Structure 1
């Protein structure tokens, strides 16, 4: 064989190897192995069902569920995703060891893409310990009291003074709810600037003006977040996100935070613990932006939805308002015009109807995906007794919104808001079943297992405090009472609470 013939043969062999290697990498040759879930790769190499999943994830999963059953594997953008659609199996998955099925691997990628720093198991442990300490029990009660005072401050400024106090103020319901929660929560968690005081006294207007600017910037940041988290921003998006990050990093710099007063103990301890394990001040500041996003991105939208559902269902609004007023009277308080003199003590107030309305709201609007990485070949036993092998390197996903929250086998009229759905006629908590089996998890708005959102109790309390204050401080009406509730932005499914298109209210100060 001549040199050129040998060279040509070697080149063709290398080309063939490269092509075959590339085809293998993008999944062309992957076959369903014995005991593995049904495999559906679609018709487009590597991309698979990526476009279908991105366009409408809920409808796509319903089709796959109907086609393949309670567990299936689909190819999405080069990744093999196992979806488990039987909520009776969720508990088994939540209890699986992290050596087999791990959340932190995927979570670290999201944090790195969006906030710019790598996290470790140590960081996750610090957040868990500090959150358990300060976002539950007596410390949570203390934080609730701070939050209610900040809500009062926001409402006082919104009510205005003089002639402004008794006039209709039209506002977008989403913006009204989200901005109110954001302003009060930011001041509760991240404190106030000394320079915003006037002659040594607090000037709420100055604080809230700054918070309003932060809110507007946060909205821009949050709109970019889905693409940012997945590393899919184009050059223009990257430029915008970097500009916004620099803005927040300046506001949340360790130097600035250290000079603020009334910073929550949860934030100060987290910062100190991160410093103790070697985080630089830059990384600590990046971490504070993560805390800001995690504490604000879902609570404001959730506050919007519960207010919207109550306004659209007058019987629910009336029942919850009567319950709140009764609970206040039982704690020795009277709702007077203005309502801002009340002391909302959630640990002493019994509000089962409001609790049920909050849970119903989260059931209908929480679109979080529970995500796990398969760290080694793992056998998963389903609730029906069948066993499947999950392949190392794949992903395991639960989408409770489809498989659990809106499952007609579990909830009657699953897309209808029923404020008392979670209560029995005697006022006790209702239990839920599927195929005759009692469900351990009948809603999962905050994820599940050891990686469940550590701020969930504070988030729910924020919603309840917001509703209580709205019911005692304002009479409200929708500008267009006949209009249906707005559709949701489906691009945010997987990241938490759905966000709506605009609708309007007129809040009337009592």
Structure 2
């Protein structure tokens, strides 16, 4: 054997020895990695599955029929579990019953995403294929459809940024001023102070009266007076549409769900007409330059929103459908709560007297008051928050963007998560105080929030983290490179008790979808109630109360909940 052959064999043996050494050294690393991953997969499981009978469909029919009753039933199957899994149309849906898990979902907006629901709602309300392609540009989705060209438009992001800026500050003040002016005018028309008949008792259903007056005042404040010129029946339409809105999400064809589709079509036609008339009025110089409010557009926000949608190439039908959803959402939540808060006050004459004392401290004249000061009064604040807790049921949905860890659970990509606010708001573990029977969460207890704390600081801090995650993710513009386990921050803003209680109060959702209209909702609900209290004497008709019973929250709908029965009162003009 020559010298070259021996050198080659020696080199080969040397390399083999090196590879064997590397392999031996890597075995412990591989074993540790495998064992860690294996233990993680063993430790993490989806939340417990609620049994179902019908394959693939699972619980879908029950969930769509009555989400509140279904969620209560699902919770009863695993009362100590912070979450449960249900089967709907071949996919898993995770119901969240735990305050801490809910807060993590809201904060981790890059993993738990809402954009798919906006896109689905837009499709149901009339968006074209081209509209959907525009909406999907830069949207947070699980999978991007092939063939979607991205030209840089970010309409969902832009809409998200637009709303808060126009529903606070100067715009909020203008919105509130117009609302209260119209409401007071309507009260004065029904009970003219100059007519003696106005000072005689008149019996009526409180809910119907508040529906009529608050809807008119808030629609004029948001959309102007001209909408009533072209659509006199808009008030009646709102409440009919509210009854059928949820059924549209079953996506049944029109012949199987004719009433809902007919109401949707009416709303689309009238919202399209409203926009066309406002554009024409602007072209003809009937609208002054850039006002905060005008009779055709209403609040400046409505005009700027329409302009943004048009500039981004979204169709007339999409804009009309978007207007339908906006109008319905603006009316269908705050007004039921307005009815509930007034009803609960009238059932408690001692509370009514105490509220009049707080009103007196805020009055600037016989019929006027400082609303900003009023909303800081302890009894009014506590009453407001308790009404939100007791009379709302606001399911907050998200899509899981990738496999991730939430608490002790593994959640699968493409599945849906629903935080059911009413479950959190009625949980005895959060709300019941031992030795204080009135604190039972099934009771309406006006003093529940008399500790002086507000949920706004908590939701603002939580919202800030969610917004940061959302904007970072949108700028990245990618569906990948996100850590599944995510962060689970500990909240440190208040004492643990107060923090836990306020984290469980979720009438306005949370995270990036925290309702931007919540500030006006407070002004509308409390300001509207005080405007009535200063102008009218109102008493419960005891005979009718005995016959009908005390109203409870009607759980057949979501969002703000109406009373489940008539509440008959007598009213007359208050002498000042």
Q: Where on the TM-score scale, by shorter chain, does this alignment land: which range?
A: 0.7 to 0.9
Structure 1 stretch displaced more, 466-475 or 232-241: 232-241
Match of 1:180 among 213, 217, 221: 213
User: 1:432–1:439: 8 Å Cα contact kept in structure 2?
Assistant: no
Matched residue, 1:132: 164
1:357 and 1:298 map into 2 onto residues whose CA distance is: 17
Name the structure 1 match of 2:184. Answer: 152
Q: Distance in 1 between matches of 2:338 and 2:502?
A: 26
Deviation for aligned residue 1:450: 0.9
Q: Secondary structure at the match of 1:171?
A: strand
What's the counterpart of residue 77 of structure 2?
A: 64
Q: CA deviation at 1:334?
A: 3.5
CA contact (8 A) 1:179 1:212 kept: no
Asked if 1:304 is matched to 2:339, the reply is: yes
Could you tell me which residue of structure 2 aligns to residue 503 of structure 1?
567
Contact 1:492 1:499 in 2 (8 A): no
2:116 pairs with 1:105: yes
Q: Distance in 1 between matches of 2:43 and 2:376?
A: 54
1:62 CA drift (Å): 2.8
Please identify the structure whose Cα radius of gyration is greater: 2
Residues 211-230 of structure 1 mapped to structure 2, 5 A cutoff: 213-230=233-250
- Tell me if structure 2 keeps the 8 A contact 1:111–1:229: no
Between stretches 216-225 and 132-141, larger displacement belongs to 132-141
Q: Using a 3 Å threshold, how does the CA distance of structure 1 residues 437 and 358 change in structure 2: closer, same or farther?
A: closer
Cα RMSD over matched residues? 2.8
Q: Note the 1:16-415 alignment, pairs <5 A.
A: 35-53=45-63, 54-55=65-66, 56-66=69-79, 69-98=81-110, 100-114=111-125, 116=127, 118=132, 119-120=135-136, 121=139, 122-160=154-192, 162-193=195-226, 213-232=233-252, 234-249=256-271, 251-256=273-278, 259=281, 261-262=294-295, 263-328=298-363, 333-335=364-366, 339=367, 342-346=368-372, 350-381=376-407, 387-402=408-423, 404-412=424-432, 413-415=440-442
Q: How far apart are 1:142 and its partner, in Å? A: 2.7
Which SS does the other structure have where 1:146 is aligned?
Answer: helix
Q: Does 1:471 align with 2:538?
A: no
- Distance in 1 between the 2:223 and 2:61 partners? 40
Deviations 1:1-21 (A, max 9, x none): xxxxxxxxxxxxxxxxxxxxx
The partner residue of 1:444 within 487, 490, 506 is 506
Return the offset for 1:159: 1.3
**Where does structure 1 lack aligned partners over 5 or more consecutive residues?**
1-31, 197-206, 382-386
Q: Conserved in 2, the CA contact under 8 Å of 1:102 and 1:373?
A: yes
1:32-90, Cα deviation, whole Å (9 max, x unpaired): 99522222341221232345443522431331332x61122111343311112111222
Q: How much has 1:240 moved relative to structure 2? A: 2.6
Taking the aligned partners of 1:437 and 1:155, their CA distance within structure 2 comes to: 40
CA distance in 2, matches of 1:306, 1:348: 15
Q: TM-score, normalised by structure 2?
A: 0.71
Query: Which residues of structure 2 form unaligned runs of 5+?
Result: 1-41, 140-153, 282-286, 288-293, 433-439, 456-493
353-362 vs 34-43, which moves further? 34-43
Q: In the alignment, is the contact (CA less than 8 A) between 1:128 and 1:454 conserved in 2?
A: no
Change (3 A) 1:255 1:72: same
In structure 2, how many angstroms separate the alpha carbons of the residues matched to 1:315 and 1:258?
A: 53
CA contact (8 A) 1:113 1:230 kept: no
Does the residue aligned with 1:409 lie in a helix, a strand or coil? helix
